[in-house]
């Protein structure tokens, strides 16, 4: 005996199962899919200009755009990573050969610490140059042994990264080529009014574009300035520290301070007052100005979110999703605000954001086979 609605309910069950299974299949490559989509959003205007220049050859324009992305993003990144590897190897060799001034610098710092801290370090043999050199050598030896024992895991991770990177480029090409058509299908499938669909997708594109472009620009500027400040004050491996500052600047407001505050404390404790003052003034005034001026201008202006919400959503996103969280966190926060604004009526047909009409018109043409 058939009950009314049984067929529809069974179909919805199948739809749910295959949808969950599909996302499980994609799970190893979420990062590749995410970055392919974000780069497609950012570079789609460039692709359109190249397509017009090439006589409406969409596939060729998409391929050229991917090649340009590789040149302007991947090539400089590869050069920086190779330089970092060389600098890290120099630091590692100095530690193994006990030729680094770090033990002496740390010993001078110890003499300025409170008595209880000096006693604690003495108990662990960290209050003399020879003791600190021995500890550093032990750390370097353990590190080399760990790396030697993890060759297989490192090789496996490198292979996974290369595979994910290849998938990202492959998806990026097709998203640049057929992205407007896919968006058109999504718009037709969503059971929402036209203005609501356009508003949500426009918000997604704007936040993704602003977050990535703004965060990357701020990170590069802060990393370059931080590396310069460390170089001026005579700190070894300034490029390595600058790269670390750039990475930590993904966390708004507090990121770079994790690196420069200990360095400033060291200078003050060892009597190098002018270097400590320079470092504090440089990071508070110059680097702080970059963070307080550029980040709201490049991120907050387009996302239309307050700074505190960007900070909280970025930290929460990175806690849950890792490095990808600096994009995913603000995206979720922006979509949350957009959905509630639509529900409350604050955003309505009269003030909602619209997708580019040329982009929508382009999506009406099916991709060439």
3-12, 229-238, 263-272 — which is least confidently predicted?
Answer: 3-12
Note the pTM of the prediction, 2 decimals. 0.69
- Non-local (6+) Cβ contacts of 115 within 8 A are none
List, in order, residues 6 or more apart from 72 with CB less than 8 Å away.
none
What pLDDT was estimated at residue 243?
Answer: 77
pLDDT at 132: 57
Nearest in space to 263 (alpha carbons), one of 227, 290, 296, 288? 227
Per-residue pLDDT tens digits for 51-94: 888 887 888 888 898 888 888 777 766 666 666 666 666 655 65
pLDDT at 254: 62
Give buried/exposed letters for 34-49 (b at 16+ CB in 10 A, else e). Answer: bbbbbbbbbbbeebbe
CA distance 330 to 266: 36
What are the tens digits of pLDDT across the range 7-18?
A: 777 788 888 899
| Residue 222: exposure state from Cβ atoms within 10 A (0-12, 13-18, ≥19) | buried
Q: What are the C-alpha distances in Å from 112 to residues 119, 128, 135, 266? A: 12, 14, 21, 10
Q: What is the pLDDT of residues 39-49, one digit of tens each?
A: 888 888 888 88
pLDDT reported for residue 21: 92
For 135-187, the pLDDT digits (tens) are: 655 555 555 554 445 444 444 556 776 788 888 888 988 888 888 888 888 88
Query: Token pair of 9, please?
Result: 């309910």
- Statement: residue 5 has pLDDT above 60: no
Q: Return the top range by mean pLDDT from 115-129, 198-212, 234-248.
A: 198-212
Question: Which long-range contacts does 138-143 make (Cβ < 8 Å, 24+ apart)?
Answer: 139/95, 140/92, 140/95, 140/96, 141/96, 143/92
Q: For 268-285, how does the pLDDT look when each residue is reduced to its tens digit (9 = 90+)?
A: 777 778 888 888 888 888
Residue with tokens 């020879």: 130
User: Distance (Å, rounded) from C-alpha 131 to C-alpha 122?
Assistant: 9
User: How far is 327 from 27, CA to CA, in rounded Å?
Assistant: 18
CA dist., res. 323 & res. 315, Å (int): 10
Q: What is the 3-state secondary structure (H, E, C) of the chain?
A: CCCCCHHHHHHHHHHHHHHHHHHHHHHHHHHHHHHHHHHHHHHHHHHHHHHHHCCCCHHHHHHHHHHHHHHHHHHHHHHHHHHHHHHHHHHHHHHHCCCCCHHHHHHHHHCCCCHHHHHHHHHCCCCCHHHHHHHHHHHHHHHHHHHHHCHHHHHHHHHHHHHHHHHHHHHHHHHHHHHHHHHHHHHHHCCCCHHHHHHHHHHHHHHHHHHHHHHHHHHHHHHHHHHHHHHHCCCCCHHHHHHHHHHHCCCCCCCCHHHHHHHHHHHHHCCCHHHHHHHHHHHHHHHHHHHHHHHHHHHHHHHCCCHHHHHHHHHHHHHHHHHHHHHHHHHHHHHHHHHHHHHHCCCCCCCCCCCCHHHHHHHCCCCCC
């Amino acid at each position: 005996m058939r009950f009314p609605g049984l067929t529809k309910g069974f179909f919805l069950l199948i739809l749910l199962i295959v949808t969950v299974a599909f996302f499980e299949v994609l799970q190893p490559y979420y990062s590749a899919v995410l970055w392919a989509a974000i780069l497609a959003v950012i570079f789609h205007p460039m692709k359109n200009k190249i397509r017009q220049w090439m006589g409406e050859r969409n596939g060729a324009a998409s391929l050229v755009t991917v090649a340009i992305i590789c040149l302007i993003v991947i090539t400089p990144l590869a050069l920086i990573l190779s330089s970092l590897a060389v600098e890290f190897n120099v630091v590692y060799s100095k530690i193994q050969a006990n030729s680094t001034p770090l033990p002496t610098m740390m010993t001078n710092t110890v003499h300025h610490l409170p008595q209880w801290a000096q006693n604690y370090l003495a108990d662990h043999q960290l209050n003399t140059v020879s003791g600190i050199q021995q500890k550093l050598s032990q750390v370097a030896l353990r590190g080399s042994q760990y790396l030697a024992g993890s060759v297989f895991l490192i090789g496996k991770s490198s292979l996974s990264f290369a595979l994910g990177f290849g998938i990202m480029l492959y998806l990026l090409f097709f998203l640049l080529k057929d992205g407007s058509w896919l968006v058109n299908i999504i718009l037709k499938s969503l059971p929402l009014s036209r203005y609501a669909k356009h508003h949500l997708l426009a918000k997604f594109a704007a936040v993704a574009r602003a977050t990535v472009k703004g965060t990357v620009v701020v990170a590069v500027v802060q990393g370059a300035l931080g590396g310069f400040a460390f170089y001026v004050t005579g700190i070894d491996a300034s490029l390595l520290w600058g790269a670390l500052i750039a990475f930590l600047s993904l966390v708004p407001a507090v990121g770079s301070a994790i690196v420069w505050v200990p360095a400033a404390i060291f200078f003050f404790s060892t009597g190098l007052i002018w270097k400590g003052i320079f470092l504090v003034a440089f990071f508070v005034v110059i680097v702080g100005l970059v963070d307080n001026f550029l980040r709201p201008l490049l991120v907050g202006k387009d996302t239309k979110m307050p700074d505190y919400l960007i900070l909280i959503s970025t930290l929460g996103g990175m806690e849950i999703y890792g490095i990808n969280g600096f994009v995913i966190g603000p995206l979720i926060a922006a979509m949350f605000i957009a959905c509630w604004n639509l529900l409350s009526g604050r955003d309505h047909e009269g003030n909602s954001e619209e997708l580019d009409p040329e982009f929508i018109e382009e999506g009406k043409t099916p991709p060439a086979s």
